[in-house]
Structure 1
Amino acid sequence: MRIRTTLLASAATLAVVPALAACTENASSDGDKGGDARAVTVTSSDDACELSAVEAPAGTLTFDVTNTGSDVTEFYLLGSDGLRIVGEVENIGPNLTKKLTVNAPEGDYFTACKPGMVGEGIRAEFAVSHSDDEAAVSASDQELIDQAQANYRSYVQDQSDQLLLRTKEFVRLYKDGKDDEARALYPKAREHWERIETVAESFGDLDPKTDAREADVDFAAGEKWTGWHRIEKDLWPQDATGYRVLTPQQRATYADDLLANTTELDQRIHGTGKDALTYPIDAIANGSIGLLEEVATGKITGEEEAWSHTDLWDFQANVDGARVAYEGVKPLLATKDAALADELDAKFGALQELLDRHRSGDGFVSYTELSKDEVKALSDAVNALSEPLSRLTPAVTS
């Protein structure tokens, strides 16, 4: 878990992204890639965020983000309020380049770099101007887009409903001191969170309250640690050296807080009218990419579930969510790049085959049971899928 997102929601439902510091830019209004005004290069250093352009015409925009700093960075395109996250690319290591593709209508935006993926970050104004040459969407493509959006909305709402139901049961067991039953339910309840993690993370206030790992919390700055992983540590105290278990009253406090935040998440996901979440086709595709990124940066390393070691449940759930998002846009992709669709089908299948080897009963073996070779095989399969998946958004928005 990190505070990040790839999905677009209404400004009223998206939670606050921390205010970001001033940004530097090369003030050109034209892209620098062969005259393509919708292609923007971004250079993120330790103390600057330089853009090749501060304006682009409406349509599908591409940001090539290169990290010249000494730490991992992220890049955001934010709405005019500085809160709504239109698109984001994450985990860009030093000397690496990653691409963000988003469909941006006319309006005012902010760009933001976040060196270290912590703190306030660096931002600047970005304008998207009216364009008369936006590609028209055919009636057949629009039908596929509408279906993908409707299906994905239903999927997210269903997973949220199941998450709330199982969280209620988990909280009851934990508060009643039925630890064995709570431990058994823990990874099963969290599957529903992990399948829609990129949506849940779009609510910046709820995500850290619900899913922060201990390493994500700045205790020196007075931040409080709550949520799933705070309770996880209490349920598996034998893996936490010198840990003192919580009192019944403390248990009730953390459990009630988890349930309250999960209830709030469900209400926001089911919002209507001006509070309704929207799922543009590029956001669904970027959501698939983001969920696989979650696997690559947390689950495959065993860092997510530090005490329960149920990382493979999370791994599978992230892959489930990525696959559902991809399959939602696959009919549209098949009309534009059938070869890419075939490649993604094969790579998803290969990864799933490897995951299935580690099943045990209705779940998975402990992450600690994996050998180094088995971890490497899973990592290689994730990397093999990541490359073609990174081409999904440009393909479906072309």
Structure 2
Amino acid sequence: MNSTTVRSTTTAGLALGTLLLTAGCVANSPAAGPGDDTGAGTVTVSSTAEGCELSATEAPSGSLVFSVTNDGEEATEFYLLAEDGERIVGEVENIGPGLTRDLVVTAAPGRYVTACKPGMTGEGIRADFTVTDSGADVAPTGALGDQLDAAVHNYAEYVEDESSELLAGTEEFVAAYTAGDDAAARELYAPTRAHWERMEPVAESFGDLDPRMDLREADLAEGQEWTGWHLLEKDLWPPKDEKYTPLTGAERTKYADLLLADTQELHDRTHAADFEDTIDAASIGNGAKELLDEVATGKITGEEEIWSHTDLVDFQANVDGARVAYESLRDVVVAKDDELADELDERFDALQDELDAHRDGKDGFVSYTDLTDDQVRTLSVAVDALSEPLSRLTATVVL
């Protein structure tokens, strides 16, 4: 997981940061102004090092666009969180200085929390946000509604399957790791984590699990205990360029059991009777883009799996998850913008071709350290080429 995540917690540290919740967030108007001819409400957001200025503190229910401009000097993120301040409703990450990105959500009436994260670290600059009842149906109806209902159902089943596979793989991994069978644990590490990477936006949306399960050492807050996959990764692939004290047998058992317990909790949440109700077309579309952002900010740089160097396995899993999310919505995209569908199909295929060039066997990949600078640049270009049309997915489907 990279620093972009409140991530995954979710994205990673929103629930754990120490910044004041109310610092620096100012509303300039009492309600969101009208959007474009789509009928969506639009709230502009200006993010700086000290502030998170919204043009409104409330908006009517329905389609809602947060147009986020980074007026600061370092990359930022913006989140719409549920009232508890943990569950992620929607997010946009890695917004560079001077850039603007839109977050499109379908918002039901209720209380929410907004958060800017300058520097993409910490809990963020937060404020309360209210969605009033517009009296209109929040969800689409008719034939479009039926298509989107089917998309949500199919995607929810995909997430449930991935969480089941993740649990089964983690049980096997933990058994090998705690028994001291490091060779077997190393073999299981990457293919098991692939199930997490495919469904990462959903895992992050729960708010509290991601920082426990997927936080990188580089993203630890001061005084924060490190747990999860990457702690065990470092123990299995100890660094040679620093003094490292291996975990004791008792510590191995402690942290492996914590990982397994958190994985069981993730499985239980994604199999709850109301899980499907937490997903909508906007969250699927936004999740697809988030997965590609994960590639751009972590996997393509080799910073995610800094000791095992299995980043290309994660890369493939993120692309898999993004493509499944897109394809669950593809019928709607074709009906609304068939040229966008053609472009997305072509660029997903092109990125996959570049990834396939680095396979090692049927299901594996070469170590990330084996890639040349030119090969990394070629992959990065393919990611960027897909990122732009994928950023239009949610708006095309929802607005």
TM over 0.5: yes
TM norm structure 2:
0.91
How far did 1:268 drift? 1.2
Q: 1:84 to 1:171 in 2, by over 3 A?
A: closer
Q: Count residues in correspondence.
A: 389
Aligned pair 1:347/2:347, yes or no?
yes
Aligned-partner residue type, residue 113 of structure 1: C
Query: 1:277/1:307 Cα in 2 relative to 1: closer, same or farther (>3 Å)?
Result: farther
1:195 alignment partner, one of 188, 198, 203: 198
Q: Give how far 1:75 is off.
A: 1.0
Q: Does 1:254 align with 2:255?
A: yes
Deviates further, 70-79 or 300-309: 70-79
Which residue number corresponds to residue 360 of structure 2? 360
Q: Which amino acid aligns with 1:367?
A: Y
Aligned to 1:69: 72
Could you report, residue by residue, the CA deviation over 1:5-38 in whole angstroms, capped at 9, with x for unpaired residues? Answer: 5999xxxxxx957672332222352438679771
CA contact (8 A) 1:80 1:109 kept: yes
Moved more, 374-383 or 141-150: 141-150
SS in 1 for 2:67: strand
| Unaligned segments of structure 2, at least 5 residues | none
Alignment of 1:105 with 2:108, yes or no, is: yes
- 1:1-398 matches, within 5 Å, as 1=1, 2=3, 3-4=5-6, 16=15, 20-22=21-23, 23-31=25-33, 38-131=41-134, 137-218=140-221, 221-239=222-240, 241-273=242-274, 278-361=278-361, 362-398=363-399
Root-mean-square deviation (CA, aligned residues, Å) is 2.3
3-state SS, counterpart of residue 33 of structure 2 = coil
Distance in 2 separating the partners of 1:135 and 1:246 = 51
8 Å CA contact 1:288, 1:323 repeated in 2: yes
Deviates more, 1:81-90 or 1:337-346: 81-90
Note the alpha carbon deviations across 1:369-391, whole angstroms, 9 max, x for none: 00000000000000000000000
Q: 1:232 to 1:82 in 2, by over 3 A?
A: closer
Aligned partner of 1:305: which letter? E
Cα distance in 2 for residues equivalent to 1:30 and 1:317: 38
| Cα distance change of structure 1 residues 129 and 7 upon mapping to structure 2, 3 Å threshold | farther
Cα distance per residue 1:347-390 (max 9 Å; x no partner): 00000000000000130000000000000000000000000000
CA distance in 1, matches of 2:379, 2:42: 34
2: distance between equivalents of 1:280 and 1:132?
19
My pick for the range that moved more, 342-351 or 221-230, is 221-230
The answer to whether the Cα contact below 8 Å between 1:44 and 1:115 also exists between their aligned partners in 2 is: yes
**Is residue 190–residue 314 contact of structure 2 (8 Å, CA) maintained in 1?**
yes
Conserved 8 A contact 2:153-2:276: no
Q: CA deviation at 1:59?
A: 1.7
- The secondary structure found in structure 2 opposite 1:237 is coil
Give the Cα–Cα distance (whole angstroms) in 2 for the partners of residues 123 and 301 of structure 1: 29
Q: For residue 123 of structure 1, give the secondary structure of its aligned residue in structure 2.
A: strand
Distance 1:88 1:54 in 2: 17
Task: Assess if the C-alpha contact under 8 Å between 2:47 and 2:70 holds in 1.
Answer: yes
SS of the residue 2:171 aligns to: helix
Aligned-partner residue type, residue 348 of structure 1: F
**Rounded Cα–Cα distance in structure 1 between residues aligned with 2:51 and 2:369:** 40
C-alpha spacing 1:262/1:30, structure 2 compared with 1 (3 Å): closer
Cα separation, 1, equivalents of 2:245 and 2:32: 59
Distance 1:39 1:264 in 2: 36
Relative to structure 1, the CA distance from residue 123 to residue 237 in structure 2 (aligned partners, 3 Å threshold; closer, same or farther) is closer
Q: Residue 247 of structure 2 aligns to which amino acid in structure 1?
A: L
Distance 1:133 1:265 in 2: 34
Which range moved further: 129-138 or 374-383?
Answer: 129-138
> Would you say the 8 A contact 1:109–1:126 is kept in 2?
yes
Gapped runs of 5+ residues in structure 1? Answer: 9-14
Q: How does the TM-score come out when normalised to structure 1?
A: 0.92
Question: Tell me, what secondary structure is at the counterpart of 1:223?
Answer: coil
| Alpha-carbon distance in 2 for matches of 1:139, 1:203 | 31
1:11 aligned residue:
none
Q: Deviations over 1:154-204 (max 9, x none)?
A: 100000000010111111111111111111111011100000011111122
Equivalent pair of 2:8/2:211 in contact (CA under 8 Å): no
Residue 58 and residue 204 in structure 1: after superposition, are their counterparts in 2 closer, same or farther (change >3 A)?
closer
The alpha-carbon deviation at position 87 of structure 1 amounts to 1.1
Q: 2:9, 2:207 within 8 Å by CA — same for their partners in 1?
A: no
The Cα shift of 1:225 comes to: 0.7
Q: CA deviation at 1:137?
A: 3.4
What's the % identity of the aligned pairs? Answer: 56
Does the 8 Å contact 1:111/1:124 carry over to 2?
yes
One-letter amino acid of the counterpart of residue 334, structure 2: A
Other structure's SS at 1:21 match:
coil
> 2 CA distance for matches of 1:363 and 1:64?
40
Is the alpha carbon distance of 1:140 and 1:30 closer, same or farther for their aligned partners in structure 2, counting shifts above 3 Å?
closer
Please, which moves more after superposition, 354-363 or 89-98?
89-98
